[in-house]
Amino acid sequence: MAEIAICTKDNMSNAAASSTAPDLTREQVVTWRNAVFVIFSLSGLGLASWVARIPSVRDSLHASTELMGIVAFGLAAGSIVGLVFSSHVLVRFGPARTIGGAVVVSAAGLTLAGLASTLFTTPVLAIVGLALFGAGTGMCDVAMNVEGAANERALGRTVMPLFHAAFSVGTVAGALLGGLAEKAHLAIAVHLGIIASVMVVAVALAVRKLPPHPDAVTPEVSDDGSTAGWRSRLLIWKNPRILLIGLIVLGMAFAEGSATDWLALAMVDGHHVGNATGSFVFGIFVAAMTIGRVAGVRLLDRFGRVLVLRSSAVLAAAGLLIVIFVPSAAVAAIGVVLWGLGASLGFPVGMSAAADDPKNAAASVSVVATIGYFAFLVGPPSIGFLGQHVGLLHALLLVLVLVGLAGLTAGASRKPETGAAPTS
C-alpha cells in the first residue's frame, strides 16, 4: 500500500526549475530527506504491526476465514477513500499537516481495531477501526510520495526506491515486534496501542523537518482547489500502454497484498506452524521485499525494466509454487523469500513507467495507482472466499495467475523512444 508515485529521470532533469532547492542548504535538504525516511518507515511499521497479529485477531474474534476476508476489506476500502481525497486535502492543508493528520487518523484506527479485538471482540468495530486506519494510511501514502519526489529533485539524484525500502524496513520492524508480542502473549490492544503512540510522537517530530515547497500541490488539482485534472485523468483511461502497465501493477500488487493479508494465516493453517512462527515468516517476506528494492536500483539501471519485471514474475511464481505445494514449512520459507524478492519491484517500476511522459505523468500515475489499489480492495475477500472452500494455500493459485499476467505484459513498461509522440 506505500508505492503511489515515482519520480523519473525526466522529472529530475527539471530540478533546477524548482524554487525550493536554491533556498535550502545541503544540510536542510538532507534533514528533509531523513524526515521522509522516518515517515515512510512509520507507515510500514503500522501496517505490519496489524498484519502480524492477524492470527491472534482471528482467534479472539472466533472468525472464519471468510469473515477475516471481510475484516481485511475494511482496511482496503478505507485506503481507497484516503487515496481519492488525498489530493484535495494536500492542496487545502499542505504536506506537513496532511501527513501529520493522516498518521494520527491511522493511529486512532489501529488503536480502535486493537480494542475491538481484545475488549469488545466484535468484528464490526474492528472493521470500523481498520477503515480509519486504511484511510489515514492511504492519504499518508500519497502525501509522503509527493514529499519524496520533491526531495529527490532537490537532491538531484535518485532516492525514491530507498524511500520505499524504508517502508519495507518499517514492515520488518513491525513484523518482528508483532512476533515478539505474540511470544510474550501481549494483549492485542496493548501492543497496537503502543505502536500507535510511537507513530504519533515520531510523525510529530518528523513533519517539523518538512520545508514548504511548490511541489506539494499535485498537478491534478489547481491552486484554487478546482478539479480540472479529473478530465485528463479520464482521458488517460483510454491509453492502451497505461492500461497494460496497470495490469503489471495489478498482478504485482496482488502478490504483495495477498502476502500482507494472508501469509501468516496460510502458514498457520496450511503448514501447521504456531501463530508466532507465522508472524516471523511474514517478517521473512517483508525482509526479502526490502532487499529486492535496495538491490533493484542497480539491476534496473543495468538490465532495464522489461527483463527485471519478467525475472521478478518468474521468481514470485516459483516462490508461490513452493509455498503452495511443498509440505515442508522450512522449504516453504525459502519459497517466501523468492515470493518477496519477485514482488518487490513491480509496483515502483510500474509507477515509474507510468510517469515516462512528463506532460501526462500525474494523470497516468493516478490511473495506474487506482488499478493497483483495486488489487488491495478485491484481493482480501477473494482469497478469503476461496480459502474457505479450498484452503488458503490453494487459494493462492489466484495470485499465481495474476503474477503470470504481470510477466506477460511487462513489455509495456519499456521506456518510449526519445522523440516519440506523447501518450495522451
Name all domains of the chain by residue range, CATH numbers in brackets. Answer: 1-218 (1.20.1250.20), 231-414 (1.20.1250.20)
Contacts for 8-16: CB closer than 8 Å, 24+ residues apart: 8/352, 8/355, 8/356, 8/358, 8/361, 9/158, 10/355, 10/356, 10/358, 11/149, 11/153, 11/355, 11/358, 11/361, 12/152, 12/153, 12/156, 12/157, 12/158, 14/153, 14/358, 15/153, 15/154, 15/156
Closest CA to 368 of 290, 251, 221, 222: 251
User: What would the DSSP string read from start to end of 24-82?
Assistant: S-HHHHHHHHHHHHHHHHHHHHHHHHHHHTHHHHHHHHT--HHHHHHHHHHHHHHHHHH
Most confident among 105-114, 259-268, 407-416 (mean pLDDT): 105-114
Tell me the pLDDT tens digit for each residue of 25-60. Answer: 888 889 999 999 999 999 999 999 998 898 899 999
* Least confident interval from 90-94, 166-170, 211-215: 211-215
Average pLDDT of the chain is 82
Question: Is this prediction's pTM over 0.85?
Answer: no
Average pLDDT for residues 202-220, to the nearest whole number?
Answer: 73
Contacts of 90 (CB under 8 A, 6+ apart): 98, 142, 143, 146, 216, 217, 218, 221
Tell me the pLDDT tens digit for each residue of 257-314. Answer: 888 788 988 999 899 999 888 888 988 998 898 899 888 888 887 898 899 999 999 9
Q: Report helix, strand or coil for 224.
A: coil
* Residue with more model confidence, 224 or 290: 290
pLDDT at 424: 38
Average pLDDT for residues 179-191, to the nearest whole number?
Answer: 94
pLDDT at 360: 63
